[in-house]
Structure 1
Amino acid sequence: MAATATRNLEDWAFTQVDGGQGTAKDEWLPVSSFPTTVHVELLKLKKIPDPFIGLHEWDVQWVGESEWAFKHRLQVSDKEVGAPNIDLVFDGLDTFAEVKLNGTDILRTTNQFVSHRVPVKSLLKEGDNELSIHFKSAFRKGREIEAAHLPKLNLWNGDSSRLHVRKAQYNYGWDWGPVLMTVGPWKPISLQTYTARVADVDVRVEVSESLEVQLSAEISLSDSVTGAVQVDLKNPEGNTVASEKLGVTDSKKAEFKKSFASGEVDLWYPVGYGKQPLYSLHVTLLDKDGSLLDEKKQTTAFRRVRIVEDPLLDQEGLTWLFEINNIRIFCGGSNWIPGDSFLTTMSKSRYREWLELMVSGNQNMVRVWGGGIYEHDDFYDICDEIGLLVWQDFMFGCGQYPAYDALLETVREEAVQNVKRLRHHPSLVIFAGNNEDYQIAESFKLDLDYSDETGDFRDTNFPGRYIYERLLPRAVGENSNVHYHRGSPYSGHGKVTTDRTYGDIHQWNVWHGSQEPWHNWDILSGRFVSEFGMQGYPDIRTVEYWLGGDKSEAFPQSRTMNNHNKADGFERRLELYLVENFKHSFELESYVYYTQIMQAETLASAYRLWRRNWKGRGREYTSGALVWQINDCWPVTSWAIVDYFLRPKPAFFTVARELRSFAVGMTRKEVQTFADDTSAAEFKIETVLEIWGANSTLDEKKATLEVTAFELNTDWTETWSKDVLLAPNASTELFKGDLPGQPIRTKKSEVPKVIIVSARLLDGDGSVLARYSNWPEPFKFIHFPSVEEVGLIITMQEDGKTIRLETNKPIKGIVLDVDGDDAKWSDQAIDLVPNDPQTVHAEGLNGRAIKARYLGDGTA
């Protein structure tokens, strides 16, 4: 009996069916790489313009509305033909495809997210065989399906036909992404020969509250075989910690179980809380003579995960928090959209760069958003390795999805396949049924009675509820022990999605909704804020890329700029927040800077105020904040804090500072009191300063709080300090009192002094654990001192990489840059005060002079 052999099929050619703009009729062009999609190949052949530049997105729409074919000359050896079983395995076809082998139909696909295994022994011959795939237009096919299921359904973003097509929904265009309808074999295709194979390994790990571990593995075989299954569990060093040989006669299943006492195996922790030891289960299938038939390795790890909903001590509602190995975690992180409009360009190294960047920014959770894809295995493998928790949505986004039988059948297979593929990853801590579909139902007043827990829902005008509350929880529950959450946002307990006291919330009343000032984040909190954001331009070099050298379009309101911001009403909203807070110009580099600083201030404020709400056991009023979003799928102005080319915006750094192990925060609020109830003229206005510290470690921390106040337009300053004790895994209130240097005001005509307060937490050796400078807002009212008075000093150290920053006056929002190619900076959007120099590291300076821009520097 022969062992399993797998051969990837890589030499393919493609053509536009019946010819057209892509190829002539019957003209077959070799693909440059495989797997691939049509846009990628046409770009490499220079048959289409780059849709990421200028308005060219609209010059390539014909690609997604055309039909395409791929073919492969499959050479099969006599040994392969003689195998008992021969399968063609299609890991993913995008999307509507008809597959033929030697002219015979073998497969029809309708779902980008589903893989297929097709037995082909009877059709293969020794020598030359032809494998062909005919792709229909997903857009046109979707329109046809929609026409058969009228009326049209409600949605946000894209064409309504997308709701009928199981394809990455962002391909239809989103409020940050282009309309680029990809098509092609986007995942590997392989030929597999075998006698019998290990079809599935279902590894389940249960960790008790006392941290005892129970591991079980159910091994499923493709065929009955007389032999044995050898199971070996190995630790990260490759040493075997458990081993057993299991007999399999007529059964197609074998089961392995092993218990470990607390401490016998190492637990897996999120980044910042411990190590990430990865174990591996080696499964070897042997025939009756002990010869190898097949083998499979499954990575696993040991950790206890709970979603905790406990009563709070002095607020309504319940907690909604993640507990890992009995440790309650404040989750600070980001939402992830697909890393590119063309998914086959996402390499493992590119995934690693993105995910490691998140960890370097002190983030510990990433949410895979429901309008993209179930990510590549590399994505989850890297998250396992670096300790980044994964929130995984199912692929339903912003829509009134239908639930007719044909769709449910493919969705069920999609769900089961992807749950089985992802369930073993220790980083994966939650499946969520959809993104914002319950909000769609609320917004369009669809049938949605949250108290109905027994309905079928398919006969209502919100039939997708059957998917989220019946189909998906069954798929998750029967195939994994991962927690299932019906949607995001979803409150549960009979509450609407905007309820701030239960479940998770998407807080879009900054930017969208009521367009609140960002200073109101403290009253816009929720138990877990899984989306919030503010737009900011990307690096100026990214803007120059999409301009494509057209300098006539290099102004914020140009047609090209408009095409590279897909958000409805973005001009009004950007300008609303800019004009309310800053004096700014419309010169392009200045405009880029001010939107970036606005984004940096907005997001830092949210993390700062919500982390304050993590006040310890029973007072976890906010347990997580995931910014929308970490990344872009093309060069664009969006809510991303790192642009398409992996260039961090200033907001990335301000968020990173707020998520450090130790942080310090401040607010100032004006309190007006009247002499009596009959007078509006007699009052006093006092300015109250509050200071708190945050500590994400599991130990209390002694520190010194040092507070220095500066009046910006004079030389007045005042300093005081006190010893403080920061509670473990919580925020601690440190001070509440009058703002130093600010007199009580009795008339509105009395202009308050411009007082900047610097707070630092100092370790026992005097090193700075955390710092933050609180400025009066809005910044537009400030009369900034001249550049000469400020006296910013930038000193390059001998290593050519370390920059020291010093100042004579407080400075807000320093952003460093160089001419030419970008450098990699360790920090940006820096607030600097006298007698507190800061150091920034940079890679790639190559001796170039450093430029600095900050509020009031005279460049606006």
Structure 2
Amino acid sequence: MGRSLVFRVNGVEVFCKGANWIPCDALPSRQTPARYEALLEAAAQANMNMLRVWGGGQYERELFYELCDRKGLLIWQDFMFSCAAYPATPEFLAEVEAEVRHQVRRLRDHPCLALWCGNNEDLGALTWFPETRANRDRYLVDYDRLNEGTVGRIVRELDPGRAWWPSSPSSGPGDYSDNWHEDGKGDMHYWSVWHEGRPFEAYYEVTPRFCSEFGFQSLPSAEGVRAFAPESQANLTSPVMEHHQRHPRGNTVIAETLTRYFRFPEGFEELLYLSQVQQALAIRTAVEYWRSRRPACMGILYWQLDDCWPVASWSSLEYPVRWKPLHYAARRFFQPVHVAAFCRDAALVEVHGINDTREVAPGELRIRFLDFAGRPRREEKREVRLPPEAATPLGAYPLASLPARPEELFLDLHLVQAKAEVENQLFLCPPKRCELPDPGLRTVVRAGKDGRVRVELAAERPAFYVHLEAPGLEGRFSDSCFTLLPDRPRAVEFLPLASASAARAAGKAAELERVLKVRHLRATYR
């Protein structure tokens, strides 16, 4: 059955949802209070409740922890040791002891601090390098002297009431299991999709007790690329684009995976957009399935929240603070009450309701299988009551029983509650196999008397991964990267970084209308 890893706050078991945090800029002078505020507020707005301060970065400044205290963001705090075999000489251990004593005393009184973790992936380093493989016993002794004999000892001495975890990933004290592939206990770093080239469906093959790292890269947005590359370099394999991709196989993995799921895009900007859609799909696939495994799984932290420079990466917030499609998707797939669906065996669609709150969540659930003209081909509606702090199966539908082939339908879930609505959609096969018509998308930009600027969107046929961009304007949209259905038009608000007055709303609307770009899946290919 394995062994759980669960965080309990004030007697309540918390399903942890969030991401890994890296330094917010490569240059410390640019790690400003405004940047910290914007990034951490974006995490809170995406329904996150935990961040992991990665052991390959830095101990963060006091402001970071103060903001997390205020915003209700729990912190998994690594000590700054990562992916390496460290010495255990008396001189080095003395330096480590001074470092650890200082940091524990500095941070232990912050209510956001949930756990001390000895390092990032140092257990893996025992088998990664020729030197450690050739003399593993020696390096294991050095690891134990540093991690348990020094770091862990001081944490237990100075902060005995807070959890100590020896490494990430780890099965716990004294256990040296392979937590990159074994999911039965402790926390897991699941990288088989990105590093080993497994399909997104491989996420269905594991149920981590707590997944503290997994991820998938995307390219920057078109606006992000323009910040560092001239027009002559607007090509995936140009020298500048390759310089801004620090993973040796990164662009290859992105492009190869696109061919698995999507029709290849026809232009450079379409490629950038579709890579970000693909990233959102990858992380959503894992998160929704693992949330449905509650209580076996009780935590999901994807890699990573932020970037430290403009680059192709795993982040959901593009440098400096631009929301990618993944971050908009995270706001939905991390919401406390959610409905999700997946096909684990390519023959059966499973629907689950997820309720992380402490109260029953009642509502009316409509389940529809629509064709790509937007016509319902099968539909059911029923009242549901989702139990608190639980994931609940809500139905299973054999693909063979549907009124059309999987490539001719998609699933639409719509949960209507007293004060909120939740919706979700699922392709029943890779989207590249589906013949998508032009959705007939229409947009109108309006300025309200309240000073707010809204984009009203409607479609004649379903439009998928509808994503709004406002190049040159500082701000974000209230929602983006969503499915737009003919019977559910939307109004999306533009949220500028600086609040706009009603008198400026008309000017803002005209400016937004001039620069607005609305992308969707069907527009990426001919």
TM-score strictly above 0.5: yes
The answer to which of 370-379 and 342-351 deviates more is 342-351
- Residue in structure 2 matched with residue 487 of structure 1 by the alignment: 167
Match of 1:693 in 2: 353
SS in 1 for 2:435: coil
Matched, 1:828 2:507: no
TM-aligned CA deviation for residue 441 of structure 1: 1.1
| 1:259-286: CA deviation from partner (whole Å, max 9, x where unpaired) | xxxxxxxxxxxxxxxxxxxxxxxxxxxx
Structure 2 counterpart of 1:517: 199
- Verify: 1:540 aligned to 2:222, yes or no: yes
Are the counterparts in 1 of residues 444 and 456 from structure 2 also a CA contact under 8 Å? Answer: yes
Partner amino acid, structure 1, of 2:44: V
- The residue type paired with residue 318 of structure 2 is D
> Is the contact made by 1:555 and 1:586 (CA closer than 8 Å) also made in structure 2?
no
User: Does 2:525 match 1:843?
Assistant: no
1:621 maps to 296
* Residue 63 of structure 2, aligned match among 375, 378, 382: 378
2:84 alignment partner, one of 399, 410, 426 = 399
Q: Distance in 1 between matches of 2:119 and 2:304?
A: 17
C-alpha displacement of 1:797: 3.9
Q: Which residue of 2 aligns with 1:344?
A: 29
Residues 237-636 of structure 1 mapped to structure 2, 5 A cutoff: 316-444=1-129, 459-460=138-139, 463-481=142-160, 482-492=162-172, 493=175, 495-498=177-180, 499-512=182-195, 514-547=196-229, 550-585=230-265, 587-614=267-294, 620-636=295-311
> Are the aligned partners of 1:505 and 1:531 in contact in 2 as well (CA < 8 Å)?
yes
- Counterpart of 1:793 in structure 2: which amino acid? R
How far residue 424 of structure 1 moved from its aligned partner, in angstroms, is 0.5
Q: Assess if the C-alpha contact under 8 Å between 2:447 and 2:509 holds in 1.
A: no
Q: Which amino acid aligns with 1:762?
A: V
Which of 743, 749, 758 is the aligned partner of 2:412? 758
Q: Which has the higher helix share?
A: 2
Measure how far apart 1:656 and its partner are: 1.1
Q: 1:740 to 1:837 in 2, by over 3 A?
A: farther
1:796 matched to 2:445? The reply is yes
The separation in 2 between residues aligned to 1:464 and 1:376, in whole angstroms, is 27
Amino acid at match of 1:628: W
Measure the CA separation in 2 of the matches of 1:651 and 1:344: 28
Q: Aligned partner of 2:336: which letter?
A: S
List gaps (5 residues or longer) in structure 2.
497-507
Bigger strand share: 1
Q: How many residues align?
A: 503
With over 3 angstroms needed to count, the CA separation of the structure-2 counterparts of 1:405 and 1:494, relative to structure 1, is closer
Whether the 8 Å CA contact 1:401–1:462 is kept in 2: the answer is no
Higher Rg: 1
Q: Secondary structure at the match of 1:426?
A: coil
SS at 1:667 equivalent? strand
Superposition TM-score, scaled by structure 1 size: 0.56
1:830, distance to aligned residue in structure 2 (A) = 0.7
Moved more, 396-405 or 427-436: 396-405
- After TM superposition, give the deviation of residue 494 of structure 1 in Å: 5.1
- TM-score, normalised via structure 2 length: 0.91
Following the alignment from structure 2 to structure 1, what is the Cα–Cα distance between the partners of residues 42 and 363? 29
The 2-side partners of 1:706 and 1:768 are apart by 14
C-alpha root-mean-square deviation of aligned residues, in Å? 2.2
AA at the equivalent of 2:359? D
Alignment of 1:107-122 (within 5 A): none
Deviation of 1:731 after TM superposition, in Å, equals 1.1
Question: Where does the alignment leave 5 or more consecutive residues of structure 1 unmatched?
Answer: 1-315, 449-456, 615-619, 672-686, 745-750
Contact 2:274 2:524 in 1 (8 A): no
Amino acid at match of 2:413: A
Higher relative contact order (CA 8 A, sep 6+): 2
Tell me: CA distance 1:770–1:714, structure 2 relative to 1, closer, same or farther (3 Å).
Answer: closer
Shift of 1:715: 4.2
- Asked if the contact 1:813–1:830 (Cα under 8 Å) also holds between the matched residues in 2, the reply is yes
Question: 2 CA distance for matches of 1:392 and 1:780?
Answer: 41
Distance 1:494 1:851 in 2: 50
What is the match of residue 81 of structure 1? none
CA distance in 1, matches of 2:102, 2:380: 61
1:442 deviation in Å? 3.2
Whether contact under 8 Å (1:431, 1:483) holds in the other structure is yes
Output the CA distance in 2 between the equivalents of 1:833 and 1:740.
25
